[in-house]
Amino acid sequence: MLQLDRLTLTQGSFQMTADWSANPDARIAVMGPSGAGKSTLLAAIAGFLKPSSGRILWQGRDQADVPAGERPVTILFQDQNLFPHLTVAQNLGLGLRPDLRLTPADRARLDEALARVGLDGMGPRRPAQLSGGQASRAALARALLRARPILLLDEPFAALGPALRGEMLDLVRAVADETGALVLMVTHDPKDALALGGDTAFVAEGIVHAPVETRALFANPPKDVQDYLGRT
C-alpha cells in the first residue's frame, strides 16, 4: 500500500499537502489545473524532492532515505525518457542492469519486451531515429522490464495524437496488469482518466484530494472539478 502520511511538499513559495493511501493495484489519474503541483507529487514519490514534512510509505516502509533508483518506482517523464547516445536496446537494458552486463536470458527478456510493445527489431536504433510514439513505447517497454510495483506517468504521451494516446493507454494498462503495478498518471484529459479506469485524485489549491472513483467523480463533480472541466 502507498501511503501519503500528512505529506507536505514545498517548492519556493508553493506548498501542497496530501494525506491518503492507495492499494497496490490501484489505477489513479492525477488531474488538476496547470501549476497545481501534479508533477511535484510524482517527483516526491519518485525520490527527487524531499518532503518538507510528513512521510511517503510503501508497504509500511518510509521512503525518505531510499535513493530514487532504489525506490519501488518506475517513472516516465514528459520527455527525456531515453538517452540519445544509446541504442533502444541499451536504453532498455539499463532498466535491467545499470552496468549493461546482460545475460542471454536478459537479452531474451529485452527482445520479448520490445515485441510486446510493437518495437520488434528496433533494438539497434537510436532514439533520434524513432517517432514520438515509438519512443513512448520504448520507455514503456523498459517499465515492463523493470516491473516495479509503482508506475508513475508524468504526461509522457502529451505530445501524441488522440489515437496514439489511446493505444499507449491500452499499453499502460496491459503493462500494469502484467506487472501488477499501482499506476499514478498525470493527465489533463478526462477521457484519458476514464480510459485508465479506476480512480482520480484531483489536485487544486495546494491539496491533493484522496482518489475517488473516476466515473463517480465525473458523474457528480464537486465545484472545483466542475470549474476545471469547464462545465456549467
Q: Which CB sits closer to other proteins, 146 or 188?
A: 146
Region 129-168 residues binding other proteins, contact defined as CB under 8 A: 146
Distance, CA of 107 to chain centre: 25
Task: Identify residue 115 by its one-letter amino acid code.
Answer: A
Per DSSP, the three-state class of 193 is helix
Q: Is 95 in the site for other proteins (CB under 8 A)?
A: yes
CA distance 134 to 199: 28
Measured from the CB of residue 128, what is the shortest distance to other proteins in angstroms? 4
Region 73-92 residues binding other proteins, contact defined as CB under 8 A: 73-75, 77, 79-81, 83-86, 90
Task: Identify residue 220 by its one-letter amino acid code.
Answer: N
Per DSSP, the three-state class of 192 is helix
Residues 6+ apart with CB under 8 A from 33: 203, 204, 228
Q: Is 50 in the site for other proteins (CB under 8 A)?
A: yes
Measured from the CB of residue 51, what is the shortest distance to other proteins in angstroms? 9
Q: Is 229 in the site for other proteins (CB under 8 A)?
A: no
Among 4, 22, 29, 47, binds other proteins (CB under 8 A): 47
Q: Is 66 in the site for other proteins (CB under 8 A)?
A: yes
CA distance 191 to 22: 22
Q: Is 100 in the site for other proteins (CB under 8 A)?
A: yes
Measured from the CB of residue 83, what is the shortest distance to other proteins in angstroms? 6
